[in-house]
Amino acid sequence: MSAVRFIADLHFGHKWMAEHRGFSDIHQHDEHIVNQWNSVVNKKDIVYILGDITMESADHYYRLDAMNGRKKVVLGNHDNPRHVPELLKYVEEVSGMVNYKGIWLTHCPVHERELEYRISRNIHGHIHEHVIMDSEICDGDLLIYPHRNYHCVSCEHVDYKPKTLAELGITR
């Protein structure tokens, strides 16, 4: 049985990101991502990579060959459009945004107004350590909590493992 999974912001080969994430070097960072990915992704699974595979370089796309599953990419702000022909040697498709079962898959979060009339949820990357928050007044108190319609799948948020809808708390 195959699953559909989501992850973002791999940043293969990016020295600053590897150090910022607590790894000693690029190799340790990149290998950790590959190992975590392969610990949950089967050969027939579909994984949507929601942007920033590398840092504006095609030099590290080869890492995708070591990763299980069928890969589909939504380009991010650090994915160079000129590298798409090279990227397509390693993935099935490349998009700017995908509507998956009424959920928009994007790199950057969509504007909140889109949630009012176009879509119900947004799975995205880009914001790394943070989540989009929501708030309301309840009995005179301001309550602040993670927005239930945004699901950030940056590597840091998902333990470097692609997640299913159910694992993200999305029930259909």
Per-residue pLDDT tens digits for 125-151: 999 777 877 778 888 888 886 778 889
pLDDT in tens, 7-59: 999 999 999 999 999 999 999 999 999 999 999 999 999 999 999 999 988 99
What's the confidence (pLDDT) of residue 145? 67
pTM higher than 0.85 for the full model? yes
Q: Which residue has the tokens 């959920």?
A: 103
Amino acid at 162: P
| Residue 77 pLDDT level (bands cut at 50, 70, 90) | very high
The answer to whether the beta carbons of residues 105 and 168 sit under 8 Å apart is no
Neighbours of 77 (CB within 10 A): 11
User: Could you tell me whether strands 133-138 and 141-146 are parallel, antiparallel, or unpaired per DSSP bridges?
Assistant: antiparallel
What is the rounded distance in angstroms from the CA atom of residue 38 to the CA atom of residue 35?
5
